Amino acid sequence: MRFRKKPWAQNELDTNRRFVPDPGEYKGKWNQRFENANPIYAEIGCGRGRFVVRMAEETPGANFVAVERDRKVIVTGARAARERGLNIAFISGDAGCLAEWFGAGEIDRIFINFCDPWPNKNKWAKRRLTHQNYLNIYKKILKSGGSLHFKTDNPGLFEFSINQFSDNGWRLRNVTFDLHRAKNLPQLDADARIMTEYEEKYAERGLPIYRLEASVLSGDKVPGIRADTRYAPTALRKTLPDVTLVQCNI
Ligand SMILES: C[S@@+](CC[C@H](N)C(=O)[O-])C[C@H]1O[C@@H](n2cnc3c(N)ncnc32)[C@H](O)[C@@H]1O
């Protein structure tokens, strides 16, 4: 691939040790690569990496992996991480390969931010990063007790995702339909506050941001409320003005 608009990009990818061209080599051994036993957080579809760079700046006690299939954008994040000396490994590839790169239970937390909504539901639903096919992959690499944090501006995708998580046996907590305006939110992790590049654009336009945290059920002893409410898209939109937070205390 040639980088016509970024003449520096190929050299950056060739020389930046944070860029991992052969992620499968570290399967089951990522903590050795990071040279510590700290938790590993992975962002899927990181784009230009603004979020993961800020997260790594604020969370020095964690290791970060950023996955993005478009090399033209991931290179910007890899450069920023190198310049700031941050602990992030960048992987250019498709999320469908995650189980080839990471061993069972190797990841503590997954972030999915503003993934493509693929609006034609019947034709493209399988491409959504919250489709059950992807959730099954995330389950394999997530540690027991690990979680997935998801943000989007798209109510249709949010509704779809709630039901995919539910059908796939995940538990949902801290579900909010208007992250930055909700008044009764509990103390959330830094990722709720740190805005991605897309999020900043949507938030500036006054659009609500939807967010949830999902964790995999382990046996049937985990207490909590399963998110099995099925919303028709129109019903969900009608509900929005009144519902700022559906919190399932686990
Ligand atoms: C709409 S952008 C959002 C970027 C960033 N997360 C943000 O919020 O600013 C979605 C990104 O996900 C990437 N992406 C989509 N599907 C992917 C997949 N299957 N594997 C890896 N990256 C993917 C796209 O290339 C794109 O950069």
Q: Rounded to 5 degrees, what angle do the CA atoms 171, 175, 176 make?
A: 170
**Ligand 1 atom showing the smallest separation from residue 46 Cα:** 6
- Indicate which atom in ligand 1 lies nearest the CA of residue 43: 6
Nearest of 1, 20, 21, 18 to residue 10 by alpha carbon: 1
Per-residue tokens: 121: 């539901």
> What's the pLDDT score for residue 223?
42
222 vs 217, residue with greater confidence: 217
Pocket test for ligand 1, best of 1, 46, 65 (most atoms within 8 A of CB): 46
Q: Is 70 a catalytic residue?
A: no
Task: Report angle CA 70, 105, 37 to the nearest 5 degrees.
Answer: 90
**The tokens of 214 are what?**
């999902």
The pLDDT assigned to 1 comes to 64
Q: Is the pLDDT of residue 17 over 80?
A: yes
Query: Which of 115, 118, 202 has most ligand 1 atoms within 8 Å of CB, for mutation?
Result: 115
Ligand 1 binding pocket, CB closer than 6 Å: 44-47, 67-70, 73, 94-95, 113-116, 129, 196-199
Q: What are the strands of the beta sheet with 88-92, ordered from one edge?
A: 88-92, 63-68, 40-44, 107-113, 142-152, 210-216, 170-176, 245-246
pLDDT grade for 121, boundaries at 50, 70 and 90:
low
| Residue 240: per-residue pLDDT | 39
Distance, CA of 16 to CA of 216 (rounded, Å): 35
Task: For residues 228 and 162, give the distance between their C-alpha atoms in angstroms, rounded to a whole number.
Answer: 8
User: What is the architecture of the domain spanning 9-246?
Assistant: 3-Layer(aba) Sandwich (3.40)
pLDDT of residue 224: 42
List residues bridging with 166 in a β-sheet. Answer: none
- The residue whose CA has the least distance to atom 24 of ligand 1 is 45
Whole-model pTM: value is: 0.90
Sketch the domain layout of the chain as residue ranges.
9-246
